Amino acid sequence: MPYAIDFGTTNTVIARWNEATRQGELIDLPLLSRPLGDSGPLIPSLLYVENAALGQVAIARQVLDRGKDIPTDARFFKNFKRGIGAAVQGFLPQLDGQTLAFEKLGQWYLEKIVGTLTEREGEEPDCLALTVPVDSFESYRHWLSHTCRSWGVEEVRLVDEPTAAALGYGVGDASQILVLDFGGGTVDFSWVQLGDERKKSRSGFLLKWGGRLTGPKAGEKSALARVVAKAGANLGGSDIDYWISEYFTEAQGLQVSPWIKRLAERLKIALAKAEEATEIYFDDQALESYEFQLRRSDLTEILQQRQFFERLTALWEQVQQTAQRRGLTPADLDAVLVVGGTSQLPMVQDWINAQFPAGKIRNQQPFGAIALGALQIYQGREVQDYLYHSYGVRYWNRRKNSHNWHPIIKNGQTYPMAEPIELTLGASLDNQPSIELIVGELGSSIGATEVYFDGNQLITRVLKNQEFTVQPLNDRNGARQIAQLSPSGSPGGDRIKVKFWVDDQRYLRLTVEDLLQQKLLLENQVVAQLR
């Protein structure tokens, strides 16, 4: 039976396919889930490390029921998804003699969920779809691939979160769909075109296949979901919580603490339904109490000062520009689907209403649409996608006396590539024995952030204009060298020709030709698996 997991920064949602009703349905795991009104069961993305050396943890509702969600407790973690696949600055947490990477915390969390799901269902899922943010680096996708290897699941596939939402909303005859996903840690935009029948096949990027595929019958057809444009940023509800915390601490001469951040989150949630909210903070060291009062207008001003709305607008403009190159304009949109908890804030709703006609906005499934939509890749829905990030090679910039990056494959490139990208290189030193090449994934300069771990909090910093983050893909011993030169190379001329391309399974490959010897040194070599 197919299942889907939408692993979110704040909450996680699980869905399964019901063969009797021929529909997806959200799953309640009583030990882990908590109901949220009409939104269905949500699994809080919380984790408490009981023993790091033994990998013993409590997650989700277990943490809440045991009263372990104490903000100042170093064993308690929330928003840990933001640190997965990121180059986290600062000191990583240390518990029980172990240094804990956020990838390990995420692994424990998902393993606990899959184990609980297996116990409740009485059998291991045979097919599982996992969702990822649009702006996630390949390192996050690699982490998912590594994590799911230990599961007994036969087949695991991957789909972008907003693309999944477009499939899960149930939009009838709508063809051109824009999904706005405002979550706890990320904001994602995805323009998806639905329609066109194709030969039925499994879809989504394949992470794990145990050798058995229960494929469809020959001759069956599937509907195509083509991703027209997408954009995303490491920006979400947890950032707003931190900004609210700073708003009060700066005004009253306090230091931002986990307790204050929790009160800030409560104020934010309260303002979704009320014009004004109040919380009391007691400083147990100074033995003083402080009243934190916040109005919707105050929160709007905080967001304006942090350029929150400007960043949303920049992402939406990026999507429009990509869509325009494909012959589409906002007027072509049939529906705008809104998902994610942060999208329920009134000031975010105001921004959405200012951008789009009211008749096209749909906000009925803010929490369950992604998981339900991810199931569609097992029901004959094929997803056609493109590379969101650019990929480049590192070089030495003599004028700046520093390394820089030269793009070789631009974002927006569909795959598999019909034609390779060629690059000609020469030796830089006399008697150079080999040529090395470092390939990196270039993040977007729009909404680019760095992640810091401060105490027991993950904090993001917005990079300056035109700054972008880079994650090297092959910067390790044995992977950088692409050409052994015989005879040795000398400066002054072209020595090797390199051809790059991406195949249908997102493998970045290269072929290297020695121009002097007129022979192939590498052919169809995998540089990196672009998960």
DSSP string spanning 160-216?
EHHHHHHHHS--TT--EEEEEEE-SS-EEEEEEEEEEEEE----SEEEEE-S---PP
Same domain assignment for residues 467 and 369: no
- For range 327-349, the mean pLDDT: 92
Q: Which of 329, 364, 384 is the last residue of a domain?
A: 384
Q: pLDDT by residue (tens digit) across 466-498?
A: 456 788 888 888 788 888 899 998 888 889 999
- Write the CB contacts of 370 (distance below 8 Å, at least 6 apart in sequence): 6, 13, 131, 161, 162, 164, 165, 168, 181, 339
The pLDDT of residue 296: 95
Q: Which neighbouring-strand residues pair with 14?
A: 5
From the list 188, 195, 253, the residue with the least C-alpha distance to 224 is 195
Q: pLDDT by residue (tens digit) across 59-78?
A: 999 999 999 999 889 999 98
Q: What is the CATH classification number for the domain harbouring 417?
A: 2.60.34
Q: Do the domain assignments include residue 497?
A: yes
Position 216 pLDDT exceeds 80: no
Same domain assignment for residues 482 and 359: no
Confidence of residue 221 (pLDDT cuts 50, 70, 90): very low
Q: Which of 342, 359, 384 is the last residue of a domain?
A: 384
Q: Which two tokens stand for residue 392?
A: 């480049």
Confidence of residue 57 (pLDDT cuts 50, 70, 90): very high
- For range 347-353, the mean pLDDT: 95
Helices (H), 366-434: 369-374
Rounded Cα distance between 84 and 140, Å, is 6
- Total domains, the chain: 2
Position 34 pLDDT exceeds 90: no
Q: Which of 350, 384, 418 is the last residue of a domain?
A: 384
From the list 343, 399, 339, the residue with the least C-alpha distance to 367 is 339
Q: Alpha-carbon Rg of the chain, whole angstroms?
A: 24
Q: Do the domain assignments include residue 299?
A: no
- For range 279-296, the mean pLDDT: 85
Residue range of the domain that includes 31: 2-235+310-384
Same domain assignment for residues 369 and 395: no
Average pLDDT, the chain: 82
Same domain assignment for residues 17 and 96: yes
Q: What is the CATH classification number for the domain harbouring 141?
A: 3.30.420.40
- For range 277-297, the mean pLDDT: 87
The pLDDT of residue 423: 87
Positive or negative, the CA dihedral 267, 86, 390, 4 is: negative
Residue that is written with structure tokens 């390192």 in the block = 139
| Percent with pLDDT over 70 in the chain | 84
Same domain assignment for residues 338 and 394: no
Rounded Cα distance between 37 and 25, Å, is 16
The pLDDT of residue 47: 96
| Lowest-confidence segment of 4-8, 124-128, 263-267, 355-359 by average pLDDT | 124-128
Rounded Cα distance between 156 and 285, Å, is 50
DSSP 494: -
Confidence of residue 382 (pLDDT cuts 50, 70, 90): low
Position 86 pLDDT exceeds 90: no
The pLDDT of residue 186: 85
What long-range pairs does 298-307 form, CB within 8 A, spacing at least 24? 298/247, 299/240, 299/244, 299/268, 299/271, 299/345, 299/347, 300/347, 302/240, 302/243, 302/244, 302/247, 303/240, 303/243, 303/347, 306/239, 306/243, 307/462
Residue that is written with structure tokens 């909404």 in the block = 447
Rounded Cα distance between 158 and 72, Å, is 35
Same domain assignment for residues 376 and 419: no
Position 313 pLDDT exceeds 60: yes
Position 197 pLDDT exceeds 50: no
Q: Do the domain assignments include residue 328?
A: yes
Same domain assignment for residues 112 and 65: yes
| Lowest-confidence segment of 214-218, 270-274, 517-521 by average pLDDT | 214-218
Rounded Cα distance between 402 and 425, Å, is 19
Position 300 pLDDT exceeds 50: yes
- For range 293-313, the mean pLDDT: 94
Q: How many residues does the chain have?
A: 531
DSSP 274: -
Q: Do the domain assignments include residue 187?
A: yes
The pLDDT of residue 199: 41
Same domain assignment for residues 316 and 420: no
3-state secondary structure of 115: helix
Same domain assignment for residues 328 and 399: no
Q: Do the domain assignments include residue 374?
A: yes
Q: Do the domain assignments include residue 475?
A: yes
Confidence of residue 194 (pLDDT cuts 50, 70, 90): confident
Same domain assignment for residues 380 and 464: no
| Lowest-confidence segment of 40-44, 58-62, 88-92, 243-247 by average pLDDT | 88-92
Q: Do the domain assignments include residue 254?
A: no
From the list 258, 311, 265, the residue with the least C-alpha distance to 458 is 258
| Lowest-confidence segment of 63-67, 158-162, 421-425 by average pLDDT | 158-162
Same domain assignment for residues 360 and 443: no
| Percent with pLDDT over 90 in the chain | 32
Q: Do the domain assignments include residue 266?
A: no
Same domain assignment for residues 426 and 368: no
Confidence of residue 214 (pLDDT cuts 50, 70, 90): very low
